[in-house]
Structure 1
């Protein structure tokens, strides 16, 4: 039994829950790191820590106080290096007729939604029908499209072209360095111009934007540890100044950066 679902075969879950919406709240969360799939729609709230969700050709970072919506039937798996991960998962059997529910979304939880999720924890692992639970979670589900302010910057695109995989792997390992486009072109066995064109076509972003994205995602992991000041983190991920880091962070997060820590 995982998240209330029964894993009859590795990665495949059978739904034996009678209620339409099922709540699972867990501290110190650990999850299998292999792909799994189920027919329920999944809302995951990261109360503490962070999680990476691997879905199709993208990796989604879900930091603390953020949510991810996963449509029915989407294969996914998670990973995290956070010391503590507290999650709430709500699994819905049915949803409203709205295209929102058929796509993956990552967004920050506004205060009112956090309060609603905290209240919903009273139904943790409840398998029997509860009238208030049904009305409350239906209202929460109906409100999600209105709460969602998409965080596109928290998605890491994965190219399909095999020539680009060594490029991404090199950036992922050497993000703290000043990576040369000439070196990346050599790895891909292409010219710099061809590399830039094909990378943008495959991922939707430039190589420079990809490097910036990787740095910011690494900074979120470091911030989560609580072991470093912001200035230390800025230099650890390859920025020459704190201001350059905070400007980059703000650009990726699409809002004024609110980073907990000392500069």
Structure 2
């Protein structure tokens, strides 16, 4: 008698096209770039997390969830240990007609949505249509999210596999607390200022200065949520020469002040 095949995590998610699938764990399944036939809702408790797609890197702060449309290639990268990662997979046909569901985005998790996600914490694996209460609950959760979530987090960092550009991006990430000028960086890596600027525009569709700015803001978001550093300390550590400049730049991108972002999103651990 043949032994039953042990399905991989991804095979389990895709096995039954009409089921919803729930997976809560303290350890994320370490998947490479992949996609699946269901929408994915992910909420992470504690820790720094990035969602990577083929084109962009998204920072997922505390008290935010990510919506990943069915068919979108992605993987989740954990920067630190986490308390819990909560994944809910929803087949597209059971949801209402809403353009929200076709677009990837990171959104604040208001109390209603957070409580609805946490209500599923004892559920696991496939939920079939015959399990009417649970199945309808997941459908309702998806539709509530589609109706309530209007303003995605605007901070998105483009990524690249360009071999000439990758070490330059690594240099930027490693030296955010230092002055990062186009001219000096170009010389360091054997480019002219014009050629390096053109490389950023062509490969990342963003300027050198904008890339540095976005990287600094994302780094500051990590520090706001994971450290006890003051706003001034975070400003200087993120490469700003004054807390006021940092606060204004943060507000222009995130639409809230650093102190308010920390207050609204800080995970409180015991």
Q: CA deviation at 1:53?
A: 1.3
Residue pair 1:108, 1:148 contacting (<8 A) in 2 also: no
In 1, distance between residues paired with 2:32 and 2:67? 19
Q: Deviations over 1:72-99 (max 9, x none)?
A: 2333222223343422111112344444
Query: What pairs up with 1:249-260 in 2 under 5 angstroms?
Result: 249-257=250-258, 258-260=260-262
Residue pair 1:83, 1:225 contacting (<8 A) in 2 also: no
How many residue pairs get aligned? The number is: 252
Residue pair 1:48, 1:65 contacting (<8 A) in 2 also: no
Residue pair 2:22, 2:126 contacting (<8 A) in 1 also: yes
Question: Which residue number in structure 2 is paired with residue 73 of structure 1?
Answer: 71
**CA pair 246-68 structure 1, distance change in 2 beyond 3 A:** same
Q: TM-score, normalized by length of structure 2?
A: 0.79
Q: CA deviation at 1:171?
A: 0.9
In 1, distance between residues paired with 2:126 and 2:36? 19
Question: Which residue number in structure 2 is paired with residue 199 of structure 1?
Answer: 200
In 2, distance between residues paired with 1:116 and 1:34? 29
Residue pair 1:65, 1:109 contacting (<8 A) in 2 also: yes
Q: Deviations over 1:99-144 (max 9, x none)?
A: 4323321111223222222233353446454222222221221233
Query: What pairs up with 1:1-263 in 2 under 5 angstroms?
Result: 6-7=7-8, 13-14=11-12, 15-17=14-16, 20-26=19-25, 28-32=26-30, 34-95=32-93, 96=95, 97-125=97-125, 127=127, 129-146=130-147, 147-153=149-155, 155-159=156-160, 161-187=162-188, 189-257=190-258, 258-260=260-262
CA RMSD of aligned residues (A): 2.8
In 2, distance between residues paired with 1:93 and 1:187? 50
In 1, distance between residues paired with 2:257 and 2:231? 16
Q: CA deviation at 1:34?
A: 3.0
Residue pair 1:160, 1:202 contacting (<8 A) in 2 also: no
Secondary structure of 2:185's counterpart equals helix
Q: Deviations over 1:133-168 (max 9, x none)?
A: 222221221233331412221x21024554333322
Q: Deviations over 1:183-204 (max 9, x none)?
A: 2223564432343244234323
Residue pair 1:82, 1:224 contacting (<8 A) in 2 also: no
Residue pair 1:13, 1:37 contacting (<8 A) in 2 also: no
In 1, distance between residues paired with 2:75 and 2:17? 25
Secondary structure of 1:6's counterpart equals coil
